[in-house]
């Protein structure tokens, strides 16, 4: 115990001696003020947009903020300014007794975009080495090169342009040229323009021209040569979003309205995908590719024509491969609730869900085939259906809740089979047979026949869609499926 006391006493003595050695009279000097933080600057001999800064403060460490987003440390540094404008430069000095800052404003007279190395600028213009800029064109061979969607969605849910769908309207040969020098944008429209129907008056008021083709539904072809010599562009960041902004007298090949600000959905070396909201409650979508890519026709991978057996018992036995869409719930191998008219132990249960929006409007059971259906001889399908009589076919889904233009709706006692072309982005040229169940067909198994003999000469369908209750509304309902097949 005595040893421990001795060691402890020694430690106390050492600590006491250490504190007694501090010289409280050391003078660190006065705390620096802004007047102590001094610096000079001059234009470099190599480039007027490169400024050389020198710290002239006494006994200090220099930290610099060049006012252009860049910083540096050191007594002699360079600031690089690509764009013309005024910049506030801040020098912060650190001494033994504290720190202080001082500011000065420099003015850059001319823009020099050879100094810019920003990925978005380089992607859009080809970079400083591309003296004549970079040429973009509509990717007309790609499905989705143009589109339309309601504003609240950020994808073209209303219309997706098919390959060459708008051929002959005057914009597929347009060249959009973006240059890094002076932020120049040029449009070579080759004597015509494609204009949306509701934007025709705005376009002709701004650019003139004469309508030479088109329609109210498809839009208009306008014969006009635009003067694009003084057009400009810039990219602006607004929170997480980026926008391509063009000058007030410009447009981007396809005229959807007077807006000049286009949200950049994607900008890479080989793709420019834009979105613009116009005053008609829609958003319009543009996809451009570099000219050398856009002009290459994409070979179509045409599926073979075939007439194979198709069948599905919705209990794991089949060769089709249906999948749900939207909020639909489909359970395979569900216990059969009625063996009268169907001795299968298990069946499929199709349950529409209620809710809001597009997810509930379209609740389908769909399968895409690896071939196109040959309907020349085999064109009749059968399906066993059990529709619950407890389904509510009277409650109204109001127009405000439904897909645009459909008005008030109810759940309909219908089952439909639709044959679709998977390459048709609009699903505008389908073949559909709709069966309406009568009241005495509810609550029992019924075998339905879907006769497509009227489409025997068609060879484009490669997708099957089963649907219960109609579409475009938000109402729930349940039906059971069994024994689907293509008949001989």
Low-confidence ranges of the chain (pLDDT < 50): 1-23
Shortest CA distance to 133 belongs to which of 184, 83, 84?
184
Task: Report the distance separating Cα 252 and Cα 177, nearest Å.
Answer: 10
CATH topology match: 119-294 vs 305-486: no
**What is residue 59's predicted lDDT score, i.e. its pLDDT?**
82
Residue 368's Cβ-count burial label (10 Å; 0-12, 13-18, 19+) is middle
Q: Give the start-to-end residue ranges of the domains of the chain.
A: 34-111, 119-294, 305-486
**What is residue 426's predicted lDDT score, i.e. its pLDDT?**
64
User: 0.85 cut: is pTM over it?
Assistant: no
**What is residue 26's predicted lDDT score, i.e. its pLDDT?**
58
Pick one of 1.20.1050.10, 1.10.1270.20, 3.40.50.1980, 2.60.40.10 as the CATH number of 34-111: 2.60.40.10
**What is residue 302's predicted lDDT score, i.e. its pLDDT?**
82
**What is residue 239's predicted lDDT score, i.e. its pLDDT?**
78
The third-level CATH classification (topology) of the domain covering 119-294 is: Lipocalin (2.40.128)
**What is residue 300's predicted lDDT score, i.e. its pLDDT?**
67
Percent of the chain with pLDDT over 70: 93
**Residue 292: C-alpha distances to residues 57, 101, 114, 132, 172 (Å):** 56, 53, 24, 15, 14
Q: If one looks up domain 305-486 in CATH, what number appears?
A: 2.60.120.260
């Amino acid at each position: 115990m005595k040893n421990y006391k001795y060691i402890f006493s020694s430690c106390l003595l050492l600590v006491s001696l250490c504190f007694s050695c501090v010289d409280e009279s050391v003078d660190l000097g006065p705390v620096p003020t802004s007047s102590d933080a001094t610096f000079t600057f001059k234009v470099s001999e190599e480039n007027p947009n490169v400024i050389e800064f020198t710290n002239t403060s006494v006994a200090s460490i220099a930290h610099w903020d060049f006012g252009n987003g860049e910083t540096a440390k050191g007594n002699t540094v360079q600031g690089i300014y690509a764009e013309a404008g005024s910049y506030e430069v801040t020098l912060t000095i650190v001494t033994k007794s504290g720190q202080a800052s001082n500011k000065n404003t420099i003015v850059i007279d001319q823009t020099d975009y050879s100094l810019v190395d920003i990925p978005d600028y380089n992607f859009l213009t080809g970079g400083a080495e591309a003296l004549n800029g970079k040429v973009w064109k509509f990717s007309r061979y790609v499905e989705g090169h143009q589109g339309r969607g309601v504003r609240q969605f950020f994808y073209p849910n209303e219309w997706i342009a098919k390959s060459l769908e708008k051929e002959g309207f005057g914009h597929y040969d347009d060249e959009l040229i973006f240059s890094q020098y002076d932020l120049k944008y040029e449009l070579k429209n080759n004597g015509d323009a494609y204009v949306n129907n509701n934007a025709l008056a705005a376009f002709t008021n701004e650019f003139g021209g004469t309508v030479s083709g088109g329609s109210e539904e498809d839009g208009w072809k306008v014969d006009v040569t635009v003067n694009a010599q003084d057009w400009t562009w810039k990219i602006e960041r607004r929170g997480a979003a980026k926008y391509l902004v063009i000058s007030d007298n410009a447009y981007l090949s396809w005229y959807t309205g007077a807006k000049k600000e286009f949200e950049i959905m994607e900008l890479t070396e080989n793709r420019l995908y834009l979105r613009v909201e116009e005053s008609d409650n829609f958003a319009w979508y543009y996809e451009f590719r570099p000219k050398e890519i856009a002009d290459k026709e994409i070979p179509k991978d045409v599926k073979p024509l075939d007439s194979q057996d198709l069948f599905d018992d919705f209990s794991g036995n089949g060769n089709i491969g249906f999948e749900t869409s939207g909020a639909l719930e489909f359970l395979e191998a569900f216990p059969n609730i009625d063996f009268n008219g169907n001795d299968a132990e298990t069946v499929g249960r199709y349950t529409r869900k209620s809710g809001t929006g597009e997810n509930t409007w379209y609740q389908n059971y769909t399968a895409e085939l690896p071939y196109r259906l040959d309907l020349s001889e085999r064109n009749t399908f059968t399906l066993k259906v059990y529709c619950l009589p407890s389904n509510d076919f009277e409650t109204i889904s109001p127009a405000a809740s439904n897909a645009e233009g459909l008005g008030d709706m109810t759940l309909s006692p219908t089952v439909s089979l639709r044959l679709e072309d998977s390459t048709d982005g609009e699903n505008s040229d389908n073949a559909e047979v709709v069966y309406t169940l009568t009241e005495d067909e509810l609550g029992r198994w019924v075998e339905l026949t879907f006769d497509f003999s009227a489409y025997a000469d068609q060879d484009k369908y490669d997708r099957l869609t089963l649907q219960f209750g109609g579409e475009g509304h938000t109402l729930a309902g349940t039906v059971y499926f069994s024994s689907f097949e293509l008949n001989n």
